[in-house]
Amino acid sequence: MALVAGVDSSTQSCKVVIRDAESGELVRSGSAQHPPGTEVHPDAWWTALREAIATAGGFDDVAAVSVAGQQHGMVCLDANGEVVRPALLWNDTRSAEAAAALVREKGAQWWAETTGTVPVASLTATKLRWLAENEPENAARTAAVCLPHDWLSWRLAGHGPGSGSEGLKELATDRSDASGTGYWSASKGYLTEVLEATLGHVPVLPEVLGPLEFRKDPEGRIIGAGSGDNAGAGLGVGAAEGDVVVSVGTSGTVFAVSGSPTSDASGLVAGFADATGNYLPLVCTLNATLVLDTTARLLDVDHSEFARLALSAPAGADGLILVPYFSGERTPNLPDATGSLHGLTLDNYTPANVARAAVEGVVCSLADGLQALTDAGVVARRVILVGGGARSEALREIVSAVFGLPVSVPSPGEYVADGAARQAAGALHGALPDWRTSGVELVDSAPTPEVLTRYREVARRTSGN
């Protein structure tokens, strides 16, 4: 029995699953936490990955591994392969002005047509621009730039500090993660003009591997191309055209598999690639489970009591509306926004209404994401809900109610890591396996369109949109 492993190195933690390459059966798993914050030294991811591998019983009997990771994080390496500075993550908004400058200089249309995506602070290119403007010595020392999943795959393949310029040439990535950099185009490859205009020079960049291409580690183990975490989730749930995946983790994402690229000059829809050779138009928000976690902490309750409270309040939370822009926002592009709670009266200010308003606020911002995707031509035949937030009964019910659609919720699992494992099995055998998916719960709540209408009025008023 050949075993394969999948890794999800995402914002809050690292998860490892080890599966039977033929059947997909889960054999072992492990996880470890990442430090909080929007600036993290990659060594912390490596430490967490090794801990997660150890708790999963090690990789000695594993034939192939793929890593899926949080997208966009800027990992800069010097000529020796040392990390130049802690990575700026996808949810770090300090490069918002750099993003605005790039859009002014080339125009939103150029970015949408060339890279698929109009830059916002999340994209790697804007972080390189911030680096060149604010830490010119670090920018000058940067000999190679890669993404979190590229760096971890490179470390797994036996490279690292001290690898030198030969080691840097072994860096590899895939289309899905390259498509979130802002300096890669699905039709033209790396865009040297964007690198010159941001970092100030063209560094060594990871080779963009095909979906089933791979490197090997010194023991001969396959290290697959890997992917961005959202593309990994797409692989993990077996998303096909017509499926819209909603992932509620640190980020909230709404995305679909598409046979053709999108180019949305309004900037709402990012025109990413997927991990199979298709495209992955995606809307991403900065405010999802952390808003729920923070509200639950305020109410001094755990996840299950929080869900019970939220479901004990009526739809619309007796008039309370929470606009969830606690971390600024990316979609819509409001990096300096803050969250707010509206409609307070002496009667409706209860823990249950506050819990319900928090869930509804997060879900309404995702419903706007689905609207943007359908406006961009994506046809939604089925909605699949995944991510840590999908473990919440309140979130599951309220997604279906606010979207006004039945929602498929695969049984709780690590679908990003599963997608990476599926890719590893594909690299091992030369074709993606058709693993049987686990049980799916269909949630079909009574639609509450008025909740979204009122949210939109308040969100627009408070954000000046």
Ligand X SMILES: Nc1ncnc2c1ncn2[C@@H]1O[C@H](COP(=O)(O)OP(=O)(O)O)[C@@H](O)[C@H]1O
Ligand Y SMILES: O=C(CO)[C@@H](O)[C@H](O)COP(=O)(O)O
Active-site positions read 229
CB of 398 to ligand X, least distance (A): 12
* Partner that binds at residue 393, options ligand X, ligand Y, none, CB closer than 5 to 8 Å by kind: none
Tokens of 176: 């899905």
Q: Is 234 in the site for ligand X (CB under 6 A)?
A: no
CB of 258 to ligand X, least distance (A): 23
Tokens of 125: 């290119």
Q: How many residues does the chain have?
A: 465
319's CB contacts (< 8 A; 6+ apart) are: 343, 345, 348
Contact present, 377 and 237 (Cβ < 8 Å): no
Q: Is 149 in the site for ligand Y (CB under 6 A)?
A: no
| Phi, psi for residue 267 in degrees, rounded to 5 | 90, -5
CB of 155 to ligand X, least distance (A): 19
Specify the 3-state DSSP secondary structure of 256: strand
Tokens of 41: 């030294």
Site for ligand X in 300-319 (CB under 6 A): 303
Cα–Cα distances in angstroms (integers) from residue 98 to residues 136, 148, 251, 268, in the given order:
14, 21, 22, 18
60's CB contacts (< 8 A; 6+ apart) are: none
Specify the 3-state DSSP secondary structure of 117: coil
* Partner that binds at residue 463, options ligand X, ligand Y, none, CB closer than 5 to 8 Å by kind: none
Number of Cβ within 10 Å of residue 210's Cβ equals 12
* Partner that binds at residue 289, options ligand X, ligand Y, none, CB closer than 5 to 8 Å by kind: ligand X
Using CB under 6 A as the criterion, what x/- string covers residues 417-436 for binding ligand Y? --------------------
For residue 203, whether the previous peptide bond is cis, meaning omega lies within 30 degrees of 0, is no
Tokens of 291: 């808003």
Contact present, 20 and 40 (Cβ < 8 Å): no
Residue closer to ligand Y by CB (options 292, 341) is 292
Binding residue (CB under 6 A) for ligand Y from 21, 49, 67, 70: 70
CB of 64 to ligand X, least distance (A): 23
Site for ligand Y in 222-251 (CB under 6 A): 228-230, 249-251
71 is in an annotated binding site: yes
Whole-angstrom Cα distance, residue 321 to residue 358? Answer: 8
Tokens of 353: 């209404």
Give long-range contacts, CB 8 A cutoff, 24+ apart: 446-450: 446/401, 447/401, 447/404, 448/315, 448/316, 448/401, 448/402, 448/404, 449/404, 450/315, 450/316
Binding residue (CB under 6 A) for ligand Y from 66, 71, 176, 278: 71
Q: Is 122 in the site for ligand Y (CB under 6 A)?
A: yes
Residue closer to ligand X by CB (options 183, 326) is 326
Contact present, 274 and 349 (Cβ < 8 Å): no
DSSP 204: B
Tell me the window of 158-166, 172-180, 340-348, 386-394 that interacts with ligand X (CB under 6 A).
Answer: 386-394
CB of 11 to ligand Y, least distance (A): 3
Q: Beta partners for 64?
A: 4, 222
DSSP 83: B
* Partner that binds at residue 72, options ligand Y, ligand X, none, CB closer than 5 to 8 Å by kind: ligand Y
Tell me the window of 120-128, 161-169, 373-381, 383-391 that interacts with ligand X (CB under 6 A).
Answer: 383-391
CB of 31 to ligand X, least distance (A): 9
Contact present, 231 and 173 (Cβ < 8 Å): no
* Partner that binds at residue 122, options ligand X, ligand Y, none, CB closer than 5 to 8 Å by kind: ligand Y
The count of residues interacting with ligand Y (CB under 6 A) is 16
Q: Is 72 in the site for ligand Y (CB under 6 A)?
A: yes
Q: What angle do CA 387, 392, 398 make, to 5 degrees?
A: 100
Q: Is 293 in the site for ligand X (CB under 6 A)?
A: yes
342 is in an annotated binding site: no
Using CB under 6 A as the criterion, what x/- string covers residues 361-380 for binding ligand Y? --------------------
Tell the residue number behind the tokens 């498509």, with chain if given.
Answer: 179
| CA 46 to the chain's CA centroid | 19
Residue closer to ligand X by CB (options 199, 292) is 292
Q: Is 249 in the site for ligand X (CB under 6 A)?
A: yes
Residue closer to ligand Y by CB (options 295, 348) is 295
Tell me the window of 56-64, 142-150, 314-322, 389-397 that interacts with ligand X (CB under 6 A).
Answer: 389-397
Tokens of 89: 């993550």
* Partner that binds at residue 90, options ligand X, ligand Y, none, CB closer than 5 to 8 Å by kind: ligand Y
* Partner that binds at residue 382, options ligand X, ligand Y, none, CB closer than 5 to 8 Å by kind: none
Tokens of 448: 């509450």
Q: Is 13 in the site for ligand X (CB under 6 A)?
A: yes
Whole-angstrom Cα distance, residue 261 to residue 268? Answer: 15
CB of 68 to ligand Y, least distance (A): 9
Specify binding-site residues: 71-72
Specify binding-site residues for substrate: 71-72
Which residues of this chain interact with ligand X, rule CB under 6 A?
Answer: 10-13, 249-250, 289-290, 292-293, 303, 387-389, 391-392
Which residues of this chain interact with ligand Y, rule CB under 6 A?
Answer: 10-11, 70-72, 90, 122, 180, 228-230, 249-251, 253, 284
